Structure 1
Amino acid sequence: MDRFDRIYRLYALFAGGRQARSATELQAELGCSRATLMRAIAELRDLLGVPLVWDAAARGYRIEGAAARSELPGLWFSADELQALLVAQSLLSDLGEGLIPQQIEALRGRIASLLARGGVLPQRASQVLRVLPAAGRACDALVFRLAVTATLGARRLAIRYLSRGTGEATERTVSPQRLVRYRDNWYLDAWCHLRGGLRSFAVDAIESARIESEQPARVLPEQDLDEHLGAAYGIFSGPATQRAVLRFAPGRARWIASERWHPAQFGRWLEDGRYELSVPFGDARELVLDILRYGPDVEVLEPPALRAEVAARLREAAALYAEDVNP
């Protein structure tokens, strides 16, 4: 019995009347330990507002006050669980006909059922809640399906990949390791047999793909993947070799202090209301773009090379508007 079923069952035991029920009786009904029962009682009372009290005279628990309500009040998912379900519902709703419409519809129905059990009307949720993608790029449906199949099945994938930086397309064979959803786009972390190393490929930049059934994929240890792909800032692969130290103006600091830029970040408030943030990075390209978004509200303190690069980009941007500033 999962957590939600247990809470629902516990409430149902009290919903039919106001008589007290002993802990021993409740444990037998739910088939759980005393510690699990106490957690369920605490969630029912403290999180969902059910007036469940201990009746010393009857040596049991009962609902205090008016007759028991017929259904649980409010939402009874945790914040993370509710967010996950709503995001999944939104993503599935945004899909077109696709390659597997029946399976997608089955998933939508399952999510709607879970939301309904949690006190959320799915139709109402779709009307009042929105998940807005930002700068998402469309993937070829067949390429994405092959990437998923190859990754789950540990098969090599032959791809034609377009480098948007150079405009060059290359043919290469890769061993998929992970599919990553990052900033509303999909990336394939894979061992590139052409380059002899780990690379991250934007799935939307894969022009064609074919699963190679002759050879299994080269599967790397999780620790190696985390060290190479997860240690530094952003989506670019490679180990973290430096730390950026950024100082944000007071007006922006209140937002930045609550944001998570990297799992290994450090932050501290300064006496004048500014906020100093330190994040590890290797490849600076994505970090530079994120810093530029904040314009005069951020200053790069370290390292000197990063500070110089950001300053140069800002000068280039200002030059585009030189005539407007000095007519």
Structure 2
Amino acid sequence: MSNRERLYKIDQILNSKQNINMADLIKRLEVSKSTVKRDIQFMRDSLNAPIIFDRDSETYRFETQGPGIKYELPGLWFSAEEIHALMTMQHLLAGIDSGGLIGPHIKPLLSRLTGILGTKEDSIDEINKRIKVEVIGNRQFNLEHFQVIGSALLKRKRLIIDYHARSTDETTTREISPQRLVYYKGNWYLDAWCHLKSDIRSFSVDSVKCKETLETKAEDISDKKLDETLSEGYGIFSGSNIKWVTLKFTPERARWVSSEKWHPKQKGEFQDDGSYQLTFPYSQDPELIMDIMKYGSDVKVLEPKELKEKIHKILIEAVRNY
């Protein structure tokens, strides 16, 4: 019988029987007296189990639960390896939870998991010491309206926002129906139905200022329609005018690119000379151009012609200004 099975067994015995002595527990659990005592102490200290020892009858029982006494054996029990995985996940999550929407809610769970592990070597401090997460190139921002957005999103309420578009340096006031939050390349985006434009839009959350949460129910857009509008093209940019790009990477770069995911619908294959040809759809090209150019001379645009000419023009201008 494993440790967790014994804990459930003890819980079951104490819930089904008013009192039980040590000899009966040893017999039922088929372990030593010291193991039973250790399990009971663990349940008291780490799980807040209200187990008391009645000295008169020399039996164990659950204390009658009343105000201030809260105990419930977890419905899902974790192994030490699973707890480590959860704690590690929380550590990584802290790097993307800039708005503090999730962290405060899982902090009590993290504390309980640390207690269950019960040793200094397995503590969250040790994980923080041994795992380092470096995020380079992300924008630094203060997502002061992140929780308001998250709340309206889950409660299905509309929002009145001021949105600053960096491309035009203009701020517009809009009424939106939030649909989903997306974490993409180090930044948070809000997919929403924009009632001003009567269309689906993706808003960079750090450019959103929430003015009011309305009681009006948010309009629900199907996942299929959201994906058709926002996920068919390349990257975070949406659009219905879908085109296909074909890129050819040098044999040296092909070894890396062949294992990368550029788009869910991408098609790639190695050529006879060891190069790698990659094809995928896009709608707008700003992000695509940036991602292509970072490969320098290791990539060549084969199709479409207009994208190839645009990048060529950008490179000529860059050399002229160098």
Instruction: Report the TM-score, using the length of structure 1 for normalisation.
Output: 0.67
Matched, 1:268 2:266: no
Question: How many equivalent residue pairs?
Answer: 249
Aligned match of 1:45: none
Amino acid at match of 2:279: S
Verify the 8 A CA contact 2:98 2:142 in the aligned structure 1.
no
Q: 1:295 to 1:230 in 2, by over 3 A?
A: same
Amino acid at match of 1:235: I
Amino acid at match of 2:172: T
Distance in 2 between residues matched to 1:181 and 1:111, nearest whole Å: 26
Q: 1:231 to 1:102 in 2, by over 3 A?
A: closer
Aligned match of 1:158: 160
| 1:287-321 deviation line (CA, Å, top 9, x unaligned) | 11100111111100001111111111111222222
Distance in 2 between residues matched to 1:267 and 1:218, nearest whole Å: 39
| Structure 1: 4+ residue segments shifted above 4 A | 6-10, 74-77, 93-102, 110-117
Aligned match of 1:319: 320
Cα-Cα RMSD: 3.4
Amino acid at match of 1:170: T
Residue 227 of structure 1 aligns to a residue whose secondary structure is: helix
Aligned match of 1:175: 177
Verify the 8 A CA contact 2:99 2:146 in the aligned structure 1.
no
Verify the 8 A CA contact 1:240 1:280 in the aligned structure 2.
no
Aligned match of 1:283: 284
Q: 1:87 Cα deviation (Å)? A: 4.5
1:116-127 to 2 correspondence within 5 Å? 121-127=123-129
Verify the 8 A CA contact 1:163 1:205 in the aligned structure 2.
yes
Amino acid at match of 2:181: L
1:17-32 to 2 correspondence within 5 Å? none
Matched, 1:133 2:135: yes
User: Which of 192, 195, 198 is the equivalent residue of 1:193?
Assistant: 195
Amino acid at match of 2:256: W
Residue 305 of structure 1 aligns to a residue whose secondary structure is: helix
Aligned match of 1:231: 232
Residue 131 of structure 1 aligns to a residue whose secondary structure is: coil
Distance in 2 between residues matched to 1:137 and 1:166, nearest whole Å: 18
Q: Which moved more, 1:152-161 or 1:308-317?
A: 308-317
Amino acid at match of 1:154: R
Verify the 8 A CA contact 1:89 1:111 in the aligned structure 2.
no
Aligned match of 2:205: 203
Verify the 8 A CA contact 1:137 1:204 in the aligned structure 2.
no
Distance in 1 between residues matched to 2:185 and 2:116, nearest whole Å: 26
Verify the 8 A CA contact 1:160 1:169 in the aligned structure 2.
yes
Distance in 2 between residues matched to 1:114 and 1:302, nearest whole Å: 57
Residue 225 of structure 1 aligns to a residue whose secondary structure is: helix
1:2-41 to 2 correspondence within 5 Å? none
Distance in 1 between residues matched to 2:270 and 2:99, nearest whole Å: 50
Aligned match of 1:256: 257
Verify the 8 A CA contact 2:100 2:147 in the aligned structure 1.
no
Structure 2 spans left out of the alignment, 5+ residues: 7-78
Percent identity, please: 37
Flag the structure with larger Rg.
2
Q: 1:282 to 1:113 in 2, by over 3 A?
A: farther
Q: 1:133 to 1:107 in 2, by over 3 A?
A: farther
Residue 246 of structure 2 aligns to a residue whose secondary structure is: strand
Verify the 8 A CA contact 1:231 1:240 in the aligned structure 2.
no
| 1:266-296 deviation line (CA, Å, top 9, x unaligned) | 1100111111111111111111110011111
Distance in 2 between residues matched to 1:115 and 1:138, nearest whole Å: 35
| 1:137-196 deviation line (CA, Å, top 9, x unaligned) | 345443101110111111101110001011100011110000000011100000001111
Q: 1:96 Cα deviation (Å)? A: 8.4
Instruction: Report the TM-score, using the length of structure 2 for normalisation.
Output: 0.68
Aligned match of 1:42: none
